Amino acid sequence: MAKVFIYPATSLILSDLVARYGHTPLSSATAIRERIQTAGIESVPLQITPEEPKKGLRWAAVEVPSGVRGRMALYGPMIDSCDAAIVIKDSDLAFGCMGCARTNELVKYLVREKKVPRLDLNYPKSEEEGTRFVAAIKRFLEGLGGGK
Amino acid sequence: MTGYAPKYPGTVTKYIVVESPTLTPSELAIHAYEISQGVMIKETCFGLAINGSEDVVDDLIRKLRAFDPDHIFVKDRGFVPGDPRRCRSSLGGARPGFHGIEFETTVLPYVSHGLTELRSRDAGSIPAPQDTLETKKLDVYTLKKLIEALEP
C-alpha cells in the first residue's frame, strides 16, 4: 500500500479514488487531525501554533512569509514521506480562503523534485473526460503495486 | 495562552458525499444509523460526517458505499462533527472547506460516469486524458498590442 500525496491536498475526488484503489491518500485533513488530536496550547482554529513556521524552515527559507512556512509544516512531512503523487493542474480551489498560491507553487516544485511517480491531470469537463480521468488514475495506482 | 485537550483523541472523522440520482443523504443517514456501532453520525446537506474509531468507521463506510458504490465518495476530515472551531452553527456562513467540496461536486457526475464505465471496460484500453490546458505563452507582439490598447 503506497502513500500517495494528492494535490489539491483537500481534494475529495483524489482522496476517494486513491483509497478506493487500495492506497493511502496523504491529504491536509490527516495533517490537521494530528494537530487537533494532540494536547498542547489552544490555538484556534486549526491548532497551528508559532512552532509550525519554525518547522517550515526545513522546506522554505526564513525570509519566506510565515504563512507559507506554517503551511509547509503540514505539507512538507507528507511530501517527504510520499511514494507517489497525483496533481490536478487546474485546481483553482487550492487558492482562496483555504489556500496560498506561493505555498502551492512550492508544494508542486517539491513534488517534482522528489522524483517519485507522478500523475498530472486536469479536472474532467465531460463524461468522456471523466472516463479517461478515472482510467488514468486507476492505471497509475495499479502500477504502483501493493494496493489493498 | 490556555491549554488544549482534545475531546475525541484517537478517533477519525470522515465525510461521505452522496451525489446520486437514486439515494439522498437523509436515506443514507437512516441506513447509517441502522448499522452503525457506537459512532457519531451527522447528516449534512451533501452527505454525512462520521466520527469514531478507525476500524469501525472504515467498516461502516464499506457497508454504506455498497448502496451506490459509483456515487458515494469519501474523504478524511480533521475536525470532529460540530466542532465549534469549524461548525457554521457557531461561526456563521459556510466553513472554508465547503467551497472545495461544492466545486468538486460539479465534477463528481463525470467521475461517477467513469467509475461506471470502468466496470465494463478495461482501463488499459482507454486513452490517456488530453491536456486541454496547454496554453501558448504570451508573445511580445501581442503584449505590445495589449499595452497600446490600454493607453489613453
pLDDT tens digits for B23-58?
999 999 999 999 988 899 999 999 999 999 999 999
Residues of A in contact with B9 (CB under 8 A): 37, 39
What local confidence, expressed as pLDDT, does residue B120 receive? 94
What local confidence, expressed as pLDDT, does residue B132 receive? 64
> pLDDT tens digit string along A70-126?
999 999 999 999 999 999 998 888 887 667 899 999 999 999 999 999 999 999 999
CA dist A30 and A18 (Å) reads: 14
Average pLDDT in chain B: 90
Amino acid, single-letter form, for residue B100: G
Closest CB to A10 among B11, B100, B108: B100
Which candidate in A4, A5, A32, A36 is best for mutational testing of the B interface (most B CBs within 10 A)? A36
Mean pLDDT value across residues B144-149: 88
Residues of B in contact with A19 (CB under 8 A): 74
Average pLDDT in chain A: 92
Least confident of A15-24, A33-42, A126-135: A33-42
Q: What is the ipTM of this complex?
A: 0.92
What local confidence, expressed as pLDDT, does residue A45 receive? 84
- Closest approach of A55 to chain B, Cα-based (Å): 20
Residues of B in contact with A43 (CB under 8 A): 4
Cβ contact, residue pair A139, B124, below 8 Å: yes
Q: In the predicted model, is pLDDT for residue A146 greater than 80?
A: no
What local confidence, expressed as pLDDT, does residue A148 receive? 67
Cβ contact, residue pair A122, B108, below 8 Å: no
Q: In the predicted model, is pLDDT for residue B21 greater than 80?
A: yes
Cβ contact, residue pair B85, A133, below 8 Å: no
Cβ contact, residue pair A12, B96, below 8 Å: no
Contact call for residues A20 and A14 (beta carbons, < 8 A): no
pLDDT higher at B95 or B152 = B95
Q: For residue A51, how far is the Cα from the chain centroid?
A: 21
- Closest approach of B1 to chain A, Cα-based (Å): 7
Which residues 49-88 of A are in CB contact (within 8 Å) with B? none
State the Cα angle at A29 between A63 and A116, rounded to 5°: 70
CATH number of B12-125: 3.30.70
Helix-, strand-, coil-residue percentages of chain B, each rounded to 5: 40, 15, 40
Q: In the predicted model, is pLDDT for residue A127 greater than 90?
A: yes
CATH 2.30.130 fits A3-144, yes or no: no
What local confidence, expressed as pLDDT, does residue B136 receive? 72
Residues of B in contact with A143 (CB under 8 A): none
> pLDDT tens digit string along B52-108?
999 999 999 999 999 999 999 999 999 999 888 888 888 888 887 888 899 999 999
- Delimit the domains of chain A by residue range: 3-144
Q: In the predicted model, is pLDDT for residue A52 greater than 70?
A: yes
Closest CB to A42 among B4, B123, B126: B4
**CA proximity to A98, closest of B83, B97, B76:** B97
Cβ contact, residue pair B76, A30, below 8 Å: yes
Alpha helices in chain B (DSSP H): 25-35, 54-65, 88-91, 96-105, 108-120, 140-150
